[in-house]
Amino acid sequence: MKWIFREESVNPSDNGWRAIGDTDTQEYINTPGNNLVVDFDRLVEIEPAVLAIYDMPVGADLEFCEDETERYFIDSHTGNRVE
């Protein structure tokens, strides 16, 4: 996962979060068979840092970053670290 953003959802079982990997190209994303719906809890199992952003509003657009000591998100709109 490299980017995660939240869209408006009309389906009550969809929280609106969308995650994209750093190797995903637009062509890859545009191919329906390449997209997978996963429960947010499963995403937390894959990357626990996403739990901290669950309540962010629709329109949130974040970049996932990591270094030797920590994993965190940067707000793509402001460039600020999400705390």
- 43-64 pLDDT per residue, tens: 999 999 999 999 999 999 999 9
pLDDT digits (tens, 9 = 90+) for 28-41: 999 989 988 889 99
Q: Closest Cα to residue 7, out of 15, 16, 57?
A: 16
pLDDT digits (tens, 9 = 90+) for 1-34: 899 999 999 888 899 999 999 999 999 999 989 9
Contact 71, 64 (CB under 8 A): yes
Predicted confidence (pLDDT) at residue 83 exceeds the cutoff of 90: no
What is the identity of the amino acid at 73?
F
* CA of residue 60 relative to chain centroid, distance: 9
Distance CA 61, CA 30 (A): 19
- Torsion angle of C-alpha atoms 11, 17, 23, 26, degrees rounded to 10: 50
